Copies of this chain bind each other. A is one copy, B any other.
């Protein structure tokens, strides 16, 4: 054990193990999680070379192998609870992705929810036994966000009672679905349904892609891998071009909408049902944002405690780099953010499950709010976390750039959350739409409930006042007071955006143009709203903490989170007259004090996340702090070191020397 990191742990002022229990949701859950993690870690079948040393084809190969093994192991261990499966897979994947992921999170669930009885009986057993390996093909080369723009067609032919599937243009080629390229033999394909000469919009169809015997693509199916990406090397994101592919009528998923034998189209009863899955996936992404940032902070903070560099006081030994104020200012707010997002993720998961219960009983009332909130929070957390991972990486200096730090992998595998499952700016504008609608309702005298109830007060309390005449009641040391300030900021920025739309309308442009011409303000309002929600939930979480030591250190973190947000957006708080210039100087001063206050607990706070070395897979983030020996050992395994002299010497350099 590195003596520096031992000393850090000795200086902690709280019980790390207890905080881990809180993060897991109880001591029993921690215990069970560790059991499951040990199953993977101690399993000799899962020992493999660092994926970074393999070619892409080898990485894909390794991912398929692991996925196949895992399915058998989960059965063997009798792990079937979704939370436990998630936990098992988290260890097993590290920062990467599994080959069959879309089969389990999209193909199977869609079959469960969208098959009618006969279809269920036919397809579910095939899919559960992996005879049918499936994926979900929605996005096209030319169409992502805007579902109505998708071009793939399914035209019903009553003569044969078949649908004829086509990709009529280059832009209509299905593009991106995971597992589509090489792995899947079936796909649920979203296509525009044409029957009896009319288009009825998007419907889902089960399309066989490859022979279930030979795995060779079927006639009319042009399928393959879309090529290397920033990350996700293990995954065969694919393309799919359909050329007059015929499928039987009952390959359309018919639980809701139907096409009858003669081609008559029967409408589905309600459209709201699809909201649920989106909300679920987005709340998962918020949790992942917390995870990714927590891992990155673990690596950067542990490394900062064992890395010594330069000097603060001349003549003294080089200090740990964590002693530099600038290093603390980079890392500690991100540590606070990681905690915040973990708590927000937990909250969203709970709300989702509660509301799912309501929905099963036919109560959709809370869905729009949750839907809007999940959109904005997905964007808010993924943007911040992505930028934060890179800050952590660069805070490790040059070594962060090595794949042995694991930080490049964490970044490239997390950052697509900013563009998938709803592009972030689009998500922000979705939340803004809900906020503006709510604001208008409040202005019209309706009493709002739920998280936007603060907009009720907007007309009454938010009259513009000059900074000087306004009583400054904000206490920058009191979290409740800061939650209130964030709330007022959100209220004012929503109002500002609404006013911007109003002004545009006065120029006699259309509603839609007015919206687009105010989009910058709308995103800003959404951002402020999400920020308020996060600060509020973090503060609320503190109320649940009984242990004094933990309550104290988390309160410091929460205060740091809130004050750093104010400092970063100081313009907003000054512009809206919520804080005065002297108060902002206090905020800066207080921030520095909080950094110093957190310094002794930094390592303990990342230890509490409890990521095993095998999960972090980072030389810099090792629990024992013995960074350098292991970096050397890792480097020596680099494929370029397999031979002392690389073949290129004989091929190019020696001949070149002869010519000069």
Q: Are B227 and A634 in contact (CB under 8 A)?
A: yes
Q: Is A623 an interface residue (CB 8 A)?
A: no
Q: Are B326 and A130 in contact (CB under 8 A)?
A: no
One of A32-40, A64-72, A288-296 contacting the partner: A64-72
Within the complex, the shortest CB–CB distance from A400 to chain B, in Å, comes to: 7
Q: Are A516 and B324 in contact (CB under 8 A)?
A: yes
Q: Is A647 an interface residue (CB 8 A)?
A: yes
Rounded to whole angstroms, the CA-CA distance of A659 and B74 in the bound complex is 14
Within the complex, the shortest CB–CB distance from A655 to chain B, in Å, comes to: 7
Q: Is A513 an interface residue (CB 8 A)?
A: yes
Q: Are A403 and B230 in contact (CB under 8 A)?
A: yes
Within the complex, the shortest CB–CB distance from A137 to chain B, in Å, comes to: 14
- A 99-143 binary contact with B (CB < 8 Å = 1; else 0): 100000000000000000000000000000111010000010111
| Total identical chains | 2
One of A196-204, A262-270, A545-553, A567-575 contacting the partner: A567-575
Q: Is A507 an interface residue (CB 8 A)?
A: no
Within the complex, the shortest CB–CB distance from A413 to chain B, in Å, comes to: 11
Q: Are A130 and B656 in contact (CB under 8 A)?
A: yes
> Hey, which chain B residues are within 8 Å of A226, CB to CB?
402, 635, 638
One of A243-251, A353-361, A418-426 contacting the partner: A418-426
Q: Are A326 and B429 in contact (CB under 8 A)?
A: yes
Q: Which of B60, B574, B660 contacts A574 (CB 8 A)?
A: B574
Rounded to whole angstroms, the CA-CA distance of A176 and B131 in the bound complex is 49
Q: Are A640 and B420 in contact (CB under 8 A)?
A: no
Within the complex, the shortest CB–CB distance from A635 to chain B, in Å, comes to: 5
Q: Are B398 and A60 in contact (CB under 8 A)?
A: no
- A 422-458 binary contact with B (CB < 8 Å = 1; else 0): 0111100100000000000000000000000000000
List the interface of chain A (C-beta within 8 A of B).
Answer: 52-53, 55-57, 60-61, 64-65, 67-68, 71-72, 99, 129-131, 133, 139, 141-146, 149, 170-171, 173, 176, 181-183, 210, 214-217, 224-231, 236, 239, 307-314, 318, 323-327, 329-330, 386-387, 390, 394, 397-398, 400-404, 408, 412, 415-416, 418-420, 423-426, 429, 466-468, 510, 512-513, 515-521, 523, 567, 569-575, 577, 581, 584-585, 588, 591-592, 628-629, 631-632, 634-641, 644-649, 651-657, 659-660
Q: Which 6 A-B pairs have the closest CB atoms?
A: A570-B571, A225-B640, A227-B638, A64-B648, A230-B408, A146-B310
| 24 A/B residue pairs, CB under 8 Å, sorted by A | A57-B646, A60-B640, A64-B652, A65-B648, A67-B652, A129-B657, A129-B660, A144-B309, A170-B632, A182-B645, A215-B649, A216-B644, A225-B638, A225-B640, A227-B403, A239-B632, A312-B515, A313-B512, A329-B519, A394-B418, A520-B588, A570-B570, A570-B572, A574-B575
